[in-house]
Structure 1
Amino acid sequence: MELDSESSGTDCSCAHIQPVSSTTPVGETIEETIFESVDDGILVVDIEHDADGIEFSYRNANSAFESMTGLSTADIRGKSPEDVLDESIVGEVRKEYRRCIDARETITCEATLDLPAGRKTFETKLTPLFEDGAVHRIVGVARDTTERNRRERELRRTKALLTDIEQTANVGAYEVNLETDDVRWTEGMRRLFEVDDDFEPTVRSSLEFFHPDDRDEIAELYRSQLDDGQCRSIEATVLTATGTERSVSAYGYVTDIDGTAYLRGYVRDITAEKGDERALRRSRDYLSKTEAITAIGGWEFDCRTNDLRWSAGTRAVFEVADDYQPTIADAIEFYHAEDRDRIRSLIDRCRTHGEPYDEILEVRTADGNQRWIRSLGEPVESKGDVVALRGAVLDVTEPKRREEQLQHYKRAIDASTDLIYAIDLEGEFRFANPPYCYYHGVDQDDIVGRSLGDILGESDYDAVQERLERAANGETVQYRTTRTHPTRGERTLDCRYYPYRDDGEITGIVAIHRDVTAREDRATQLQVVDRLLRHNIRNDLTVIRGRATDLTDAVPPTATDAAEEILEQTDDLLRTTEKAQPITNVLTADSERDSVDMKTLAERLADAYADWEPDADVTVTAPEPTTATAVPEFSRALEELVRNAIIHNDCDRPTVDIRIDQAPKEVRVSVLDDGPGIPETERNVLEHGKAPTDLVHGNGLGLWMVYWVVHRSGGELTVADRRSRGTSVTAHLPR
């Protein structure tokens, strides 16, 4: 073998070869012995420079090269790279040879080749040999790195896998050398505790990351592991370097490595799991409370075993015991007879065809109560087969009743002769009943969404806009107006606006317009007739009374009684005419109810009767100021009851007590006397409003006025005999 070199010599790295003369006989030098003995493969490449460029040919190789590649010197001598190597790598090999020539120094390269000995990876150091200052030969020293590269790749994959696992599982690993107390953390630990890459942990600093409440327990766990070497695990709270609080699960064990004891383990972030556990507990608690509050329950039916399971909520809906578990037949029996076939069909189709259902059906509970429930069911499938059914029952009795009630209300509103509509705060219609739509010549199906201004016209809308704004601000508005009816001409309307609230917030206005033309006409007619009759009757009675007085002085004593009877009857008729006017006012008035301080009213009346009737005692019993709802005319009604109690009392000094009591929903105003009592006919007037028949005697007419005043105040009257003597007349008024 011959190796040429410049006299300066060249380092061939792994196989250290000193330059020798090209004429040195093969097998006669120390260099040749080294050449054949080293473990690295050595390849000598000749370089020939010509006008066309540089050509490479292999000169020889050692036995190690032959073992690594399967190519002997005989196989490669005098051959070019194209003759020896696969064409896919020839260009890269030539490129490295040229790089060595250009560098004029040793270079390192790596290549993977398909050779007779198999596919292998080599790390090769290429060293140039010089002659006359030019590179005329290259010595390549190759080391088989196939296994090393495989191990490195496996190590990188393992490290990447560990990093992925740490990131995915939110876990980090640690190691403590128990002899030196040196601590090593993985990237996962650093990420979990949010520390920088250059952070150097110690046993003490690691402990400081744990929450103060947990540090003593963690320290004791560490000491016990050092004592007995047993595996330990614990859940604790840590505070990261950025102050974030996390829940972690820590695990550690002691192991021996080459005679040195180490504590190894991991720390896993379980914050999300703890949050899920809390959320699950809250969800279960919420579900339980929801079932109790909303009267909803769940159920599940196993199609393979025919077992039916009810939740606590379902048992509550059907009012059965807590341990009650029905069969499917038992459950169906709870349904109304007319709905049983329907629920059987729904269950059967869900079971056989996988069809879910959602129906509202009637049931009778174990306690016999009628309820409406919303029954839902859906299939549970496995491998294409329905293996179970599950669903829920919701008590919709109240919504069902409200729906029916709303239907009644709607029918009543539609059938009402009043003009009723609702608008939102923008003035657009939400609803209008048929009379309103007919009155304004609008189709009921088309009015929703239209504006009130569009229906009324600009001038009429301007007239009501201010009142609508007051209603939108929470005020109840009432006024009278005239409108022209399509067929009945000019009509008088009583108009009322009420604010409409949704969850306490005003969202619209409800309007009710009542045609009061006929009532207005009757009131006017009644007032005219009342004035005419009172005027004529009082004039005629005054004449009769004057004549009767004259007769009393002129007739014989035998006729005096007759004349006095005429005077008495005349005076009764005059008093009746006096009562007729306030009664007419009550009947024709359209008074609004308002809050009235009953104690103040009663005390004022008692003071007045002290002057009017000095021979009577009128007192007031009222523990505190008490307010009731009544029309303004109630003061006249109370005065009439007190006057009636005094003038019909046969005692020398009549006693009347105005007593006021307060109950949760009403105020009771009672007039108690110690007189002879009230006749049955007058009781009927007070309690039932029966018209008095004895119109000559004006008392019945006054009591009739009392009845109507209390009735219009939203109250009622009761009459009772007192235990000793006298009568109690009580007005029950709303608070």
Structure 2
Amino acid sequence: MSTIEAAYILLFGGSGVVCLAAIPRARTFDNREIRRGIVGMLLATGMWGVFKVAFFVLPDTLREPAYTVGLIFGFATVWAWLYFCSAYTGRGYHRRRGLRWISAAVFFSVVAVKLTNPIHRLYFTTREATVPFTYLAIEHGVFHWAVTGLSYVLASVGLFMIFELYLTSEYDTRPLTVLVALLAIPIIVDVAALTTPQVIEVIYAPLGVAGFSVGALFVFHRRFLAIQNTAREDDPSIYLDEDGYIRDYSPAAAAIFPALERSVGRRLSTVLPAVADITDESESIIEREHAGERRYYLVSTNTVALGDSGVRMVAFSDVTETERQRRALIERERELNEQNERYRAIIAASFGVVARIDPDGRFLYVSPSVEEFLGYPAEELEGESITVVHPDADVTEWAREQIERALSGTTTQVRDFPLETKSGRTVYTDIRGVPIYDQSIPSAERTPQDIVGIQLMIRDATNRRQREGLISVINRVLRHNVRNEMTVISGYAEILEAELDGGTAAKARHISETADRLLELSESAQLLEQNRDLSPDLEAIDVVPIVERAASQLETRYPDAAVTLDAPESVVAATRPRVETGLWELIENAAKHGGDPPAVDIEVAVTDTQIRLAISDDGPGLPETEQRVLETGKEEPLVHGQGLGLWLAYWLITNLEGTVDVTASGGGTTIEVGLPRPS
């Protein structure tokens, strides 16, 4: 064996061994498609190199078959190269089913021609050669050159994809460009072999692939990984080496972080300290001003590995809309918490205890203030039946009736409801119960079946009961005494008026009239006491029958009065039956203080927001002090109205969410009452 022949064997054998030995390294590639392409290329090229060696060392009868098998592996290298280039540069050609079928058809057609070459001899022929050493020379035919031309075209397509990738990267790609250029050097040797007898014609491509593999997978592997990821990535991303130095970045990242310009080779912590501070966290949000608006980016890191080396990629995902929603929810939650605190403060000021019960009457929640009020810690009552704080069965039955009302969808309110403290003492409370609906049901679709509990607001009524009890006793005693004494005075005044004449009789009549006014004042006080504790909840009531009864009663009591009523057949207002007492006070007041004889006009009308009742008389006009009572419900300490009737009317109407307006002149007075319309 000559030295030159040994050199050829060593050269091709070394290239095959290098390619096959690089396969384990290539299999550590994270990207499955790139891994498949480069492993296929190394395997095909390695086997090509092995069969090149077999061509030189096998007996003469086996050299031609070894060369043919080597050609098949060589042609397979082209397709593995294209697959690798498409995957490495981020293109999808290798995934297209049509291209894959065409590629397979071309490959197997060429393989068929190569395998049948001993029959047709159109691919190559052989002869014995002695220069530069004795070997089986290959003389390629027309099919070989056609396939070789196709192979060079396909290899050039792959080279174009690689070089385009490098041009779009701001990485220093010169070392990798040199590696890719190694793939083209064997082509030059192949051309030289056609004209130089000292260079045998055996195709030298395995040598270039071996050089490219060693450089890409072992020497410049970090650049190889970083460039591949950078150029494929449209999203903002920065690529770091293992020491935190910037090795590349995408154009989108530079648009967000202008400081990245010309930053390759510098530490991330120096260029973008805010980003460096959060890269060790699994996920973090960074805020940036970009394109004239504030935007938010999710920062995530991962490592693209090749063996024991890798490139760290810092990716920025635009999550502006999601982050704005998240921050809006946080702000809303903060506002709700503030509102809840305000509501707690209001409830604490308005009610002694707040509780929630289920439809079966068990406490679900009790505010901590219950311990001071009833002596039970809140947690002791939660889960217990409400009967634990009831003094007797009658109270429990009363509570059950109110619960049934609330479960039907009605807000309930009771006064003077007795509760028993832990020590056994009975206290009286005012309780308001509000039904709580399943929040998953839209408001417009809720029915009593959707009620899941009742909110109870409890106020200690003990002091109020004591105060009102004292007032009630005093009121009854004074009213009883006044009525009795005034009846006596009125009776004697009438006797004197009948027995006397002239000025003395007039004085007796004045005493009688004054006594009558005091009796009316006593009756008004009684009406005030009767109406003070009634429910404020409104209901739909037709006010026309109320006004008609008042007009009829007025005609009976004041037969000389001219009463006119102008009202529709039916007008429904949101009020309570006791409004009739207030309206009567106003209508009677018009008759009392009208002309001689009095004329009273009553008009009922419907507006967009209210039911309006106008009561007019033809008297001298309501005095200013009486107007002040009707418009404000107040009296000056030293200036009082003539009685409690107008004050009673004002109190009843306004406590039913109504309004009272007065227009007075020398020609009479008009009082307008506004009542709310049903919702």
Q: In 1, distance between residues paired with 2:563 and 2:488?
A: 37
The 1-side partners of 2:622 and 2:435 are apart by: 46
Q: What amino acid is the match of 1:677?
A: G
Q: Deviations over 1:514-541 (max 9, x none)?
A: 3333434444444444443333322222
Map of 2:619 onto structure 1:
675
Tell me the CA shift for residue 552 of structure 1: 2.6
Is residue 532 of structure 1 aligned with residue 456 of structure 2? no
Which residue identity does 1:353 align to in structure 2? Answer: D
- Specify the alignment match of 2:516 in structure 1: 571
Instruction: Look up the match of 2:507.
Output: 562
Tell me how far apart the structure 2 counterparts of residues 448 and 636 of structure 1 sit (CA, whole Å).
Answer: 44
Quote the Cα distance in structure 2 between the aligned partners of 1:511 and 1:641: 38
1:561/1:536 CA distance change after superposition, 3 Å: same
Gaps of 5+ in 2: 1-50, 84-91, 106-252, 262-271, 288-293, 303-310, 444-449
- Aligned-partner Cα distance in 1 for 2:676–2:667: 26
From 405, 415, 418, give the equivalent of 1:482: 418
**Given the alignment of the two structures, is residue 404 of structure 1 paired with residue 344 of structure 2, yes or no?**
no
Secondary structure at 2:620 match in 1: coil
- Measured after TM superposition, the shift of residue 401 of structure 1 is 4.1
The two structures have a TM-score, normalised by structure 1, of 0.47
Residue identity opposite 2:430 in structure 1: D
- Of 342, 347, 361, the residue aligned with 1:413 is 347
One-letter identity of the residue aligned with 2:343: Y
SS at match of 1:656: strand
Does the 8 Å CA contact 1:694/1:700 hold for their aligned counterparts? Answer: no
The CA RMSD over aligned residues, in Å, is 5.2
Distance 1:146 1:606 in 2: 126
Residue of 651, 654, 679 corresponding to 1:708: 651
Which digits, 9 at most, give the CA deviation of each residue in 1:106-139, with x for residues without a partner?
xxxxxx9x9998779x99xxxxxxxxxxxxxxxx
2:433 corresponds to 1:497? yes
Task: Using the TM superposition, give the Cα deviation of residue 634 of structure 1 relative to its aligned residue in structure 2, in angstroms.
Answer: 0.7
Deviation at 1:709, TM superposition (A): 0.6
Distance (whole Å) between structure 1 residues aligned to residue 479 and residue 401 of structure 2: 42
CA distance in 2, matches of 1:474, 1:650: 51
Q: CA 1:500 to 1:384, structure 2 compared with 1: closer, same or farther past 3 Å? A: same
Please give the per-residue CA displacement for 1:263-320, whole angstroms capped at 9, x wherever unaligned: xxxxxxxxxxxxxxxxxxxxxxxxxxxxxxxxxxxx998222699xxxxxxxxxxxxx
Question: Which residue is equivalent to 2:257?
Answer: 303
- C-alpha distance in structure 2 between counterparts of 1:637 and 1:300, whole Å: 79
* Correspondence 1:601 to 2:546: yes
The match for 2:375 is: 441
In 2, Cα distance between equivalents of 1:669 and 1:173: 91
TM-superposed CA distance for 1:599, in Å, is 3.1
**1: distance between equivalents of 2:665 and 2:524?**
28
Q: Is the 8 A contact 1:695 1:701 kept in 2?
A: no
- Give the 3 Å change call, closer, same or farther, for CA 454–589 of structure 1 in structure 2: closer
| Deviation string, structure 1 residues 179-210 (Cα, Å, up to 9, x no partner) | xxxxx9xxxxxxxxxxxxxxxxxxxxxxxxxx
Query: Which string of whole-angstrom CA distances, capped at 9 and with x for unpartnered residues, describes residues 145-195 of structure 1?
Result: 99599979999x99xx99xx99964669999xxxxxxxx9xxxxxxxxxxx
Selected match of 1:655 from 600, 616, 622: 600
Q: Are 1:513 and 2:513 an aligned pair?
A: no
Distance 1:115 1:650 in 2: 139
Cα deviation per residue 1:457-489 (whole Å; 9 max; x = unaligned)? 998796545644553443334445312345793
Aligned identity (percent) is 24
Structure 1: give runs of 5+ residues left out of the alignment.
1-111, 124-142, 176-183, 185-298, 308-347, 361-373
AA of the residue aligned to 2:600: T
Q: Looking at secondary structure, tell me which structure has more helix per residue.
A: 2
Taking structure 2 as the reference length, what is the TM-score of the superposition? 0.51
Matched, 1:353 2:254: no
* Matching residue's letter, 1:491: V
State how 1:167-246 maps to structure 2 within 5 Å: 169=96
2:582 & 2:647 partners in 1: Cα distance? 10
Give the Å deviation of 1:614.
4.1
Secondary structure of residue in 1 paired with 2:574: strand
1:578–1:481 Cα change, 3 Å: closer
Matched, 1:690 2:634: yes
Matched, 1:551 2:506: no
Deviations 1:416-468 (A, max 9, x none): 44321124557665542233243343444x46964445965998796545644
Cα distance in 1 for residues equivalent to 2:296 and 2:507? 90
Q: What is the distance in 1 between the residues matched to 2:593 and 2:355?
A: 52
Structure 1 segment 310-349 matched on structure 2, within 5 A: none
1: CA distance, partners of 2:590 / 2:285: 68
Distance 1:695 1:721, change over 3 A: closer
Report the CA distance between 1:718 and its aligned residue: 2.5
Matching residue's letter, 1:489: R
User: CA offsets per residue over residues 338-372 of structure 1, 9 Å max, x none?
Assistant: xxxxxxxxxx9744523787899xxxxxxxxxxxx
Structure 2 distance, partners of 1:623, 1:173, is: 89
The one-letter amino acid paired with 1:471 is: A
Conservation of the 8 A alpha-carbon contact between 2:620 and 2:668: yes
The structural deviation recorded for 1:384 is 5.7
- Tell me how far apart the structure 1 counterparts of residues 633 and 646 of structure 2 sit (CA, whole Å): 9
Letter in 1 for 2:672: V
Report the CA distance between 1:569 and its aligned residue: 1.5
Q: Is the 8 A contact 2:356 2:365 kept in 1?
A: yes
Q: CA deviation at 1:586?
A: 1.9
Cα deviation digits, residues 617-673 of structure 1 (max 9, x gap) = 444445574433323311110011111111101253413223333334x44333233
Residue 718 of structure 1: aligned partner? 661
How far apart are residue 513 of structure 1 and its match?
2.4
Q: Does residue 730 of structure 1 match 2:666? A: no
Indicate which of 486, 489, 503 corresponds to 1:541: 486
* Cα distance in 2 between the residues matched to 1:376 and 1:529: 73
